[in-house]
Structure 1
Amino acid sequence: MRVMMAREWLARGFEVDFVLLQKRGELLEIVPQPAQVISLGVERFRKALWPLCAYLRQHRPSVLLAAMWPLTLAAILARRLSLQNMRVVVSDHNTLSKSYAGWGVLHRVALKLSMKLIYPFADTRIAVSRGVADDLSQLSGISEGRFNVIYNPAAHRNDAGNDLVSRPEDLAPNAKILLSVGTLKLQKDHALLIEAFSRMPAHLNAQLCILGEGEQRPRLEQLVREKHLEGKVLMPGFSLNPGAYYQAANVFVLSSSYEGFGNVIVEALEQGVPVVSTDCPSGPREILCDGKYGRLVPVGDADALAEAMQAALQENPDRETLKRGRGTSQWTKSPMSILMSCFRGGIAV
């Protein structure tokens, strides 16, 4: 998303720097020119403050855009400590009360207190959904009206899906494809998805493809073996260009226990793929307009998820209708008009 926005900013005449803890990652190869990628040379968030101050004093950007606590705190403090005059925009992309639910009482106190004391000094506070804004407000004590809700931008151009690509070779040629895209971590609850898939009738000739990489891979592979689903469940890993998988999919499934927004639902709808999602806090219900553009099922309910996936596979959806529905939903409006009011000159993200 940041890479896509950088392309837009560059096209509008802004200079863009990507400021990273470390200069590494799969997306480096697609950073648009002439954007600069700058490494702070640190491994952990807590060591980023002083290198960030040095960057701000040297490069003097007009706007500093920081995403996700605690980097948001570092951005606000670095502006103060570096004595630079710039706008600071902070954005949060998840329901933090859920993300850090298991971190203990002391961490929760630190989370709430740091937001209460420091977030008011940001020029703009962004939440990617109304649910995230409500969560941030409850954590920080800052009124919800002081958070700007800006939904994440659509992943592709409006003509997404018009250019057909060949079916990925790892997908069975005649199978109905259930697709899930996301990092293999506990939040995404792919174990629930595999469990639900194992309860679906064999005569549907379905194949489950989980696109992504993460620390849960060994556990998920073990579950696939325990359920005797070898060949029925594929985990091809991370893909920089997942469009071919979306176009091959019959149904897209999100099984998360919580989300901030759910970009992958947007990507699926852009391709006209029917969506089944857990009704988790806090993005899917907003994107799907309370179920108008996709099925919502209770979090953690394998039977309900299996039933919804089966029903979706047995329908004959009108993909063009789904694309048009996506285009009329409020969350698809460009966030640029709101963001641009904050940006003058160079942008550091």
Structure 2
Amino acid sequence: MTVPGQRISILLPDLRGGGAERISIVLAHEFARAGHQVEFVLRQARGELLDEARQSFSVVDLDTARVRSVLRKLVTYLRQRQPDVLLAAMWPLTCIAPVASRLAGLRCKVLVSEHGILSAQYKDWGAAHRIALRATTGLGYRLAHRRIGVSDGVARDMAGLSSMAPDRFDTIYNPVPPRAEPSEAAIAAAEALWNAPPGQRLVTVGTMKAVKNHPLLLRAFAQLPRPGARLMFVGDGSERDALVSLAQELGVADRVIFAGFHPDPSPFYRTADLFALSSNYEGFGNVIVEALSCGTPVVSTDCPSGPNEILEGGRYGRLVPVGDEQALAQAMSDALAAPVDRDALIQRAADFAPAIAAQGYLALLDLT
């Protein structure tokens, strides 16, 4: 039996164009379709997705430049608005929210979710930060009604950091909505960028930052025994200039395409022959699901922890050791030569439909 009309508040740092922020908007629409009232609560009302959220939902700005000010303002918000459910994503908000709920004297259900592997994300921040991370997760997670990781690996990491039993954590995979079929004009624009016939087109999609280890992908690409192959980077970021220099150093600059950021990368998935992910770690890996939904084969590093789970240990794509450029090059070469069951890939991607994820959240909150 569905429990309608619940007031659900979603707490985030902001609404920049990241994965967790996009996922929260997708879930918000699903909660609204189920009859619930959704409101976004932001530490700072800014980001590329802010206007999109405001078109459908109320947005509250806590207007706190510093994290240490969030607790007081969140307590005030909770007392005034009195939501039935508070969903908090991303540490330290995942630890602040349960404490704020207790201080506000509310009975609202607090669900916290992490979207990355915190122990890896903050491993170089020093001993004091590690102690603070363990202390805050140990308190905040215990006070939460439910605790969610977006992959089994993230859930295990949450349990380890907080010294809690693994069975007190749940896994709900990220919702990845199917994209509309690209227009003929969008496909033509992608084709123009490839400037090469099909058969040897490799694409990667994501922000150019250290954790994605794009230099590994470039070095593996340089080893491919396919002089006609092309590698396209869809995305932008702080590592772009270094990647351009490395492509020149490796002698493959004329076969590497830097397409820049595109809000809808589906034309590039659909015109590519292979999608490659070279990350050192991933909380989940939405881009893998996006590629599968287009019927595009996948090669990925077997990094902690989402890719292995999405690809079911290699059933739906090839997995290679993290940091092994020779293994990555060989896997890409083999994948380009292998037949593709596109229907199977598309069917696997359907397992991550937004309605499935939203149902998981509502079930944990006893709202179904």
Taking structure 1 as the reference length, the TM-score comes to: 0.90
Say which SS state the counterpart of residue 166 (structure 1) adopts. helix
Identify the match of residue 253 of structure 1 among 276, 279, 285.
276
Q: Matches of 1:314 and 1:264 in 2, distance apart?
A: 22
Q: Matches of 1:101 and 1:294 in 2, distance apart?
A: 29
Q: Matches of 1:211 and 1:17 in 2, distance apart?
A: 32
For residues 158-190 of structure 1, give each alpha carbon's deviation from its aligned partner in whole angstroms, at most 9, with x where no partner exists. xx6597752424222425321111221111111
- The corresponding residue for 2:201 is 177
Question: Greater RCO between the two (CA within 8 Å, min separation 6)?
Answer: 1
- The corresponding residue for 1:21 is 43
Answer whether contact 1:269 1:326 (CA < 8 A) is retained.
Answer: yes
Corresponding letter in the other structure for 1:166: I
Q: Matches of 1:117 and 1:241 in 2, distance apart?
A: 39
| 205-214 vs 67-76, greater mean Cα deviation | 205-214
Answer whether contact 2:96 2:140 (CA < 8 A) is retained.
Answer: no
| 100-109 vs 148-157, greater mean Cα deviation | 148-157
Answer whether contact 1:274 1:294 (CA < 8 A) is retained.
Answer: yes
> Tell me, which stretches of 5 or more residues in structure 2 are unaligned?
1-22
CA deviation after TM superposition for structure 1 residue 311, in Å: 1.3
- The corresponding residue for 1:221 is 244
Answer whether contact 1:62 1:343 (CA < 8 A) is retained.
Answer: no
Distance 1:91-1:18 versus aligned 2 partners, 3 A rule: same
> Tell me, which stretches of 5 or more residues in structure 1 are unaligned?
none
The answer to whether the aligner puts 1:53 opposite 2:75 as a matched pair is: yes
Distance 1:332-1:80 versus aligned 2 partners, 3 A rule: closer
Q: Matches of 2:67 and 2:209 in 1, distance apart?
A: 20
Distance 1:344-1:332 versus aligned 2 partners, 3 A rule: closer
Identify the match of residue 132 of structure 1 among 154, 163, 177.
154
The answer to whether the aligner puts 1:100 opposite 2:122 as a matched pair is: yes
Q: Root-mean-square deviation (CA), in Å?
A: 2.4
Distance 1:8-1:331 versus aligned 2 partners, 3 A rule: closer
CA deviation after TM superposition for structure 1 residue 344, in Å: 8.4
Percent identity, please. 44
Distance 1:270-1:143 versus aligned 2 partners, 3 A rule: same
The answer to whether the aligner puts 1:308 opposite 2:331 as a matched pair is: yes
Q: Matches of 1:86 and 1:325 in 2, distance apart?
A: 35
> What stretches of structure 1 move > 6 A for 4+ residues in a row?
330-333
- The corresponding residue for 1:271 is 294
Q: Matches of 2:276 and 2:68 in 1, distance apart?
A: 36
Corresponding letter in the other structure for 2:219: E
The answer to whether the aligner puts 1:298 opposite 2:321 as a matched pair is: yes
Taking structure 2 as the reference length, the TM-score comes to: 0.85
Distance 1:31-1:142 versus aligned 2 partners, 3 A rule: same
Alignment of 1:20-169 (within 5 A): 20-31=42-53, 33-156=55-178, 166-167=187-188, 168=190, 169=192
The answer to whether the aligner puts 1:318 opposite 2:341 as a matched pair is: yes
| 186-195 vs 31-40, greater mean Cα deviation | 31-40
Corresponding letter in the other structure for 1:106: A
| 111-120 vs 23-32, greater mean Cα deviation | 23-32
Which structure has the highest helix share of the two? Answer: 2
For residues 280-318 of structure 1, give each alpha carbon's deviation from its aligned partner in whole angstroms, at most 9, with x where no partner exists. 111111111110110000000111111111111222313
For residues 85-138 of structure 1, give each alpha carbon's deviation from its aligned partner in whole angstroms, at most 9, with x where no partner exists. 311100011121111111112211211122122211000000111111222212
